[in-house]
Structure 1
Amino acid sequence: MENADIVQLLITQRQHIEKTVRKTVKNPSLADDIVQEVCIKIYKYIKNHGVPSNFVAWLTTVCKNTSTDHLRKLKRNKELLDQLQQEATNPLSSNTFLNPEEEFITKQNIQAVKKMLETLDEETKTILILRQQGLSYNEISEKLAIPLNTVKTKVFRGRKRLISQFKGGLLNEMP
């Protein structure tokens, strides 16, 4: 499909995209950003794969999923910002000062997680580290040049394996 055809298709569907996004996101300026992101996603997809058979249903799903992902990301960032603000305003109430026992346990847990990370294959380990550093699934997929679904699967299975190893290690250490 030609670029001009894709652009024309997006123009004809723009009102539907905006309506769908605004249903999910009540903030107009945020909705405008998401509409733009949705249009870019749709353009790239159609450019590479062509128009899906049930285009309007697919378009609605893309709009809803992109809006939901954006809201989740904002919520995560807001929670982190609130925590940092609380620590800045009242540093004594935060957990930055640990007693020696808590500090020792924390160091042990960090060492245990590092050892468990070494048991994972290199690709899964790299993906988990990049995810922990704050990269999105899409960013990791592009950076490592692997499919998005592979990234999601590796994160899920890698976390699951680390959690089971960590829980198993704790149970083995109990008297």
Structure 2
Amino acid sequence: MSHRDPREEMVDYIPSLRAFARALTQNHAAADDLVQDAIVKAWANIDKYKVGTNLQAWMFTILRNTHYSNLRKHRREVEDVDGNHAAKLAEKAPQDSAMIFNDFKTAFMQLPVDQREALVLVGASGYSYEEAAEMCECAVGTMKSRVNRARTKLAELMQLDEGEDVITTEGTALASLGGSAVA
């Protein structure tokens, strides 16, 4: 017995898929979208269908699974038809980052040369304390002390709270009081 191509046979099940989708969604437009999604998934995964088995049941399973996946996804989303939620969200203006960066540069230039050098080497350039100490011809402890003093002084000059970072427009931390790198 020869079987029709399952892709051709799929069309036969659209009316019953729509009825099932309407029962699940209770909305005609959502049901039509669900059927379309299910057909696209079935078509894309036709190689997983075993010829000779119940194609309609296979498609109903895809539709049902798609529906429940959509429900799980929508539970995590906030419906905001009138835009009230979006209006409450705020984004810092780009000029704020530029102003913060300018404040950083001003504060950075107030540091002693050896502390600026230590921050650039350890923070911005990513060298280890040992490597930076070797380049500056000083002890590792001295390098650690310079970096720590520089971070503390920057925080003081910029009036930052402990652990607060200075962020550039690219989102890169420039100074961290928590001991992370300056970049």
TM range (shorter): 0.3 to 0.5
TM-score (norm 2): 0.39
| TM score, norm. by length of structure 1 | 0.40
Structure with the higher helix share, 1 or 2:
1
Which has the greater radius of gyration? 2
